[in-house]
Amino acid sequence: MGKLVFVGLGLHDQDGISLSGLKAAKKADNIFVELHTSLMRELNIDQLEDLIGKKVTVLSRRLLEEENGARLLKTASKNNVVLLVPGDPLIATTHVDLRIRAEKAEIRTEVIHGSSIISAAIGLSGLQNYKFGRSVTIPFTNQYPPSETPYNVLKVNQRIGLHTLCFLDIEAEEKHYMTIKEGLEMLQIVERKKKGGIITENTFVVGIAGAGSHNPNVKAGTLKEVFDYDFKILPHTLIFPGRLHFMEIEALVVLADASETIRNLER
């Protein structure tokens, strides 16, 4: 009987893999990696192979999603297979679905967790993780106006005083990664339609760029301040704070370059 092991790679480069993940990869018969669910800006496949000491096969979105991972599961039915995944392996529903399919096919599965953008972004912001409501992705779209879902999630969270974590969409194979500015523009378009007063130039927001890297950018301020800020590294993430504790305000000033005027928001 084969085995499929999901291994988190972390957020930035090949050095983010855990010792447990590295040991599992070294023992594997076959090693695959998917790179379309998140951006690992400094990941080098050649260096990853040197680290593991084995060949690593890159999976396309088509093989993993459109074919439901059939080829991967066929290999795992007879061999010890490791699938390397950006971030934490089971944050993306793609990998949860693959694990379910493997278990139904009587393929043993194991999960070796890695750093997640959720914990990294929240940690860098200095906000308290138990005060976050539902998170949401701001998607790329060809429709106009864009999806109202992110706006509606933000509205509900704000009403009950909770923070909102917004993931920004990626199209990895096209090398298209949504920026903080693009995400805010999408929300501004919906605001002009809905007129709910949720997104204004004075809305307080935190922009995070390059989480997991050695030099992430974190900027907290009004929407206009964050919109105009030069975030130098991808990927980008947005947080809309809800009600703030005095400790969170202090963290935003010290760790996220927020103006001292934020102290007036304590409530």
pTM: 0.89
Q: Residue 193: how many CB atoms within 10 A of its CB?
A: 12
Distance CA 102, CA 46 (A): 28
Strand positions, DSSP E, 9-149: 30-34, 57-59, 80-85, 108-112, 136-138
> Which residue's structure tokens are 């594997």?
28
Q: Could you give the residue ranges of the DSSP H alpha helices within 109-258?
A: 117-125, 149-159, 180-194, 223-228, 246-255
**CB distance 72 to 81 below 8 Å:** yes
pLDDT of residue 265: 63
**CB distance 163 to 249 below 8 Å:** no
Distance CA 9, CA 247 (A): 32
pLDDT of residue 59: 85
pLDDT of residue 157: 97
What are the structural domains, with CATH classification, of the chain? 3-112 (3.40.1010.10), 117-265 (3.30.950.10)
pLDDT of residue 238: 97
pLDDT of residue 228: 94
- Burial level of 203, CB count in 10 A (0-12/13-18/19+)? buried
Distance CA 245, CA 229 (A): 25
pLDDT of residue 40: 82
pLDDT of residue 263: 77
> Going residue by residue through the chain (267 aa), what tens digit of pLDDT does each one get?
789 999 999 998 899 999 999 999 999 999 999 887 777 888 999 999 999 999 999 887 777 766 778 888 999 999 999 999 999 988 888 889 899 999 999 999 999 999 999 999 999 999 999 999 999 999 988 767 788 999 999 999 999 999 999 999 987 777 788 999 999 999 999 999 999 999 999 999 999 999 988 899 999 999 999 999 999 889 999 999 999 999 999 999 999 999 888 877 654
